[in-house]
Every structure is written in C-alpha cells, then in structure tokens.
Amino acid sequence: MGNVVHLPTGKALTVQTAADRYLDALNNPNTARNYGIGIRKTVEHIGPGRPLDSIADDEVGQALEQLWGTAAVNTWNTRRAAVQSWCTWSQERGYDGPSVPAWAKRITPPDSETPARSHAEIDRLISRRDVHLREKTLWRMLYETAGRSDEILGVNIEELDFAGRRGPVKAKGAKAKTRRRGQSRDDFVLETVYWGAGTARLLPRLLRGRTRGPVFVTHRKPGPGKVVSARDVCPDTGLARLSYGQARALLDEATATFGPGSGWDLHEYRHASLTRLGEQGASLLMLMAKSRHKKAENVRKYFKPSPEAIAELTSLLAPTDANR
C-alpha cells in the first residue's frame, strides 16, 4: 500500500507573499495590472508582513469598506472581485486565509449615465471643417459599427473587407485559441463589425493608397526609446497606431464646452448607435447581434431613447377619432 501524502495546510505565509504569488500566477497582464490595484492597496491596509492565517474575514471586509466604501459602484465591485479572487486562490492551494465576508456584498450597478448623442449632433460634428479627416473617419466608424473604441482603433488595413464593409476585431473578453504567454491577436477568436456608407466614403480618402498597417495612425513616428510592436506601426510610413488616450483627447478637444475634460467620450458613439437603431425599430436580438453583447440586460443599458421618441411612442396610445 502506498504512502499517504497529506495536502499542506496552515503554511507560514505573509499577506504580501500570498498576494505576490497570486498576481504572478495570472497569465493575462491586463488582469494582473487591474487586480493588482485593489489587492496591493488591501494588503497595505491590512499589513503586508502579517501571517495570512491571522487575518479575519471581517478585517478584509473593513479594508474594502474603508478603501472603496464611498467609491463608484463599478469601482467597488471591481476591487471586491479582485480581493475575493485572491482569497479563493490562496485557499485552493492549501493556505489558511480569509475570505471576503458575506456582508461586503457585490452591488448591482446602476444604469449607465453615458448620454446618447442624437443622430443630428453626430452628423454636425463630423461635418465640421475644422475636424481632421482621421477623426471624422474614426468617429463615423465608431458610430456605424457600434464597436468599442479599442476594437476599432486596433484594426489594420489588410484585414478589412472593403467590398463587404466589414472587418474582424478582437473583442472585449475574447476567447483564446491557445494557452500560452504573450498571445498575439491571431491567438484569439475574432468577431466581425460592419460599417455603412459614411465610413465607406471616408476610408479611401484617409488611407490614400496605404494597403497595410494600422488604419488610424499618429502624425509622428514613435520616439527611439518607445517599444512598439510590428503590428502597431505602418510599414510604409513608420507612423504608430493612434492610442485610445490620444483619440479620447482629440474628441474632448473638439467637443469641450467648459474646458478640458468636459467634451464627449468615445464610448458615447456606441450608446448613440444602439439608441438610434432601437428608435428605428430594431429588435432586441438584432441590437445584441450588432453590439455583440451576450446578455440582454447589457444592451438595455446602452439603449436610451430620446424624450421625443418616448413622446411619439406614447401618442400611439391616444384614442381614435371614433372613440373621442
């Protein structure tokens, strides 16, 4: 009869070491960075040198409450989820440690407060003469595809089907085809976005003969000290891909009315697109197909019909002439 091997329990492990081991075990660098914010602040609040098995559940809950108890709902949920994941990971590996207490509950997020710009507002902005062709094309493409900003900014010319007015994007939460570090774009399942006539008219003018590389590029080449992947640089011009931060700043500059930071946000085009389609009679299933949302409740947060559309809908309930 073989020897019985007991699983390790009660390992002498500090809070800081447990956190470091968990974050090092995360394969996705974006997840590690986002989770690291909440976990490191919680560790600092609790005491990094304390033994993990000496921490009570309520201490974790109190740390979360003091750090993010007055933060936005989404921030609270994100930080709580990171700490809960870390605690669960530690326990699954035989370490005696705390859990997030039941009273530190996840909060149901409110409906999005992002405004839905009207079709006329978007047309007026894109038709302005002081707006550069690159921004016109990006904003029109965001509106017509109902795509996320990072998805559209990440497209390359050689991947687009100009005749079919469509192209593949790496979506938020894309499923990986392989399990390895340093995964490239092709290692993920891509989704398709579709654009309309407005984008189709602007794209050829923007590209001006370019046949490969990023669709949206900066006006300058990356500096000598900046590391940029080959996919993010135009091989013909040497210009780098336009970043989300740069694109957001350009939109804010063009739309700000009360100083920097008071302008539109890139995400508003997605809201405006789905709201416009909903007001025109698109079904929930079609809206989900267009936005590529997997849950109906997520689409509902994006659909914000205008007061005029609600008033027009309400008029259908009025009595007919024969019943007045």
What is the sign of the dihedral through the CA atoms of 124, 130, 136 and 139?
A: negative
Tokens standing for residue 97 = 């440690």
Strand spans (E) along the chain:
166-169, 191-194
Q: Which two tokens stand for residue 214?
A: 């990023």
Record the pTM: 0.65
- pLDDT score, position 314: 87
Q: Is the pLDDT confidence value at 232 over 70? A: yes
Residue 186 pLDDT exceeds 80: no
The residue that leads in pLDDT, 188 or 107, is 107
Residue whose tokens read 């579709």: 194
Q: How confident is the model at residue 112 (pLDDT cuts 50, 70, 90)?
A: low
3-state helix, strand, coil in the chain (%, to 5): 50, 5, 45
Q: What are phi and psi of 319, to 5 degrees?
A: -65, 150
CB 277 within 8 A of CB 286: yes
Neighbours of 18 (CB within 10 A): 25
Lowest model confidence (mean pLDDT) among 14-28, 35-49, 296-310: 296-310
- Average pLDDT score over residue span 255-282: 89
Cα within 13 Å of Cα(16), Cβ side: 6
Q: State the pLDDT at residue 324.
A: 59
Q: Are strands 191-194 and 166-169 parallel, antiparallel or unpaired?
A: antiparallel
End-to-end CA distance of the chain: 92
CA atoms of 161 and 4, how far apart (whole Å): 61
**Residues that are catalytic:** 148, 177, 267, 270, 293, 302
CB-hemisphere CA count at 13 Å for 131?
A: 21
